[in-house]
Amino acid sequence: MKKILISIGIVLILAIVGVALYFHAQAAYTKVVTGKVLRQDLATIISGTGQIKPKTYVNVGATAMGRVTHFAVKEGDWVKKGEVVATIENVQQKANVVGQQAAIAAAKTDIASYIAAEKTAEANVEHAKADLEQKKLDWVRAQALYKEDILAKQDYDAKKAAYDTDVASLAQAVASLNQAKAQTESARGHLQTQVANLRVNQDVLDRTLAVAPFDGIVTNEPIREGETVVEGIQNAEGSTLMTLADMSVITAEVKVDETDIVNVQLGQPADVTVDALPGKVYKGHVTLVGDQAILRSTGIATSQSTTGAEEAKDFKVVITLDQTSPELRPGFSTTAKITTAKKSAILTLPIQALTMHSPDDDKKDKDGKSVVKAASQKAPAIQGVFVVTREKGKKHAIFVPVTTGITGATEIEVLSGVKEGDEIVVGPYKTLRTLKNDALVKPDTTLSLSTTDNKS
């Protein structure tokens, strides 16, 4: 019995020693999360928020003073070029046009009467010519007979007088014809004046009718029927009837953070989403990159701001959509994702794996303790990753400097330092910051990247 108890005691002691040795060995390992260096496509995407805007829009202003009598459209309606969208009271203008049209009709009647008089005068001229021809023949014969003393002096004088009278009658008929022609030309001139006056009055009347300058959508109507509008004061209250947007070319005007704007260039592709239309993505491309910084708090350009306070700034970027859609409306809130760089089949690693490491962090004194140096005395930190290697059955984290390229949402391009398939430490974050070169590590899939407890 005594031997049995001794045996049990020995077994327990050995078990305790074994467990102690196991936990002691495990204490030397640092639990980490690892990932792989992969070859894949990568794109750098910059986001910006803003709103949908038409490329072209116009404030349809009042061109005549008066009371708005009718709106033919309302906000949100689509209109065609030339369509009447509103009318202003125009009783006097219409009366002027009607009166002028009547004056033109009367002038045309006068011209017709003058033309008839002209025809009569022409007939009189022809009659006078024929009569004169007859009197001329009589006068020639009378002269011959008188020379031969066949015709009496009295008859001779009568023939001469008749001839002279017809000469005068022809001249009078010709003068009457010229007078009739002059009256016709004068009437035509008056008619042209009346026509010009009609154009003026018609233009004044047309100014009481607001028409759409292009196909578009009504986005704003600050005036209601019955209110009075005033012409000639741009953007003043009471001078704008409505705002019309040309939706044949639609843009997304967004604000991009100042730290990202240096990577945005004209022509870069973008995906635009609209809050009001979830699930739909509109393709577009960058058509304008603003050169004025905009204060995020006020939306005012820095060149117009009078304050000297430092604060976050954005830049305006305009993205023109490749295709229009009747569902889009000006003012819709939108988010644009601009692809500023894109590469295919390149080596990438998780962004979390990158860390800054100084060689002095790995130095130890003769007792094996880490040497603590002031930050100003340390060697410059180097960007790199910890590559997991296996040696004698144990995994070590070896710091390797790397150079990087373009950055994606969660991955970053690696240009040198590692190769495809390498296992690297990606976390937890605090572990990565304090990890020593050549430290023993143990991958643990149960850890999260934000885990703070890095020792087993």
Same-domain status, 288 and 185:
no
Question: How much is the pLDDT for 305?
Answer: 67
d(CA 66, CA 92): 11
Same-domain status, 169 and 116:
yes
The answer to whether the CB of 252 falls within 8 A of the CB of 246 is: no
The answer to whether the CB of 197 falls within 8 A of the CB of 41 is: no
Question: How much is the pLDDT for 370?
Answer: 53
Last residue of a domain, one of 314, 341, 368: 341
Radius of gyration (C-alpha) of the chain in whole angstroms: 51
Question: How much is the pLDDT for 222?
Answer: 87
d(CA 382, CA 388): 18
What the block records as the tokens of 126 is 């022809």
27 contact partners, CB below 8 Å, separation of at least 6: 455, 456
445 in a domain, yes or no? no
The answer to whether the CB of 249 falls within 8 A of the CB of 55 is: yes
Q: What is the phi/psi pair of residue 193, to 5°? A: -65, -45
Same-domain status, 101 and 164:
yes
Query: What CATH number is attached to the domain comprising 146?
Result: 1.10.287.620
Residue type, 176: S
Question: How much is the pLDDT for 17?
Answer: 45
What helix, strand, coil percent values describe the chain, rounded to 5? 35, 35, 30
212 in a domain, yes or no? no
406 contact partners, CB below 8 Å, separation of at least 6: 42, 43, 44, 341, 342, 343, 412, 413
Question: How much is the pLDDT for 48?
Answer: 94
Query: What CATH number is attached to the domain comprising 336?
Result: 2.40.30.170
385 in a domain, yes or no? no
**What is the three-class DSSP state of 283?**
strand
**What is the three-class DSSP state of 277?**
strand
- 227: buried, middle or exposed (CB in 10 Å: 19+, 13-18, 0-12)? exposed
Question: How much is the pLDDT for 376?
Answer: 56
Same-domain status, 201 and 95:
yes
Helix (H) or strand (E) holding 316: strand 313-321
Question: How much is the pLDDT for 176?
Answer: 86
79 in a domain, yes or no? no
Q: How many CA atoms lie within 13 A of 357 on its CB side?
A: 24
Q: How many domains does the chain have?
A: 2
d(CA 449, CA 33): 7
41 in a domain, yes or no? no
Residue 370 DSSP code: B
Last residue of a domain, one of 183, 206, 229: 206
- The domain containing residue 328 runs over which residues? 47-55+248-341
Same-domain status, 95 and 174:
yes
How big is the chain, counted in residues? 456
Same-domain status, 126 and 175:
yes
What the block records as the tokens of 197 is 């006056």
283 in a domain, yes or no? yes
366 in a domain, yes or no? no
Same-domain status, 254 and 200:
no
The answer to whether the CB of 375 falls within 8 A of the CB of 384 is: no
Same-domain status, 191 and 264:
no
d(CA 146, CA 159): 11
Last residue of a domain, one of 307, 341, 375: 341
362 in a domain, yes or no? no
For every residue of 72-114, DSSP letters joined together read S--TT-EE-TT-EEEEE--HHHHHHHHHHHHHHHHHHHHHHHH
d(CA 88, CA 443): 80
Low-confidence ranges of the chain (pLDDT < 50): 17-26, 365, 451-456
Residue type, 82: G
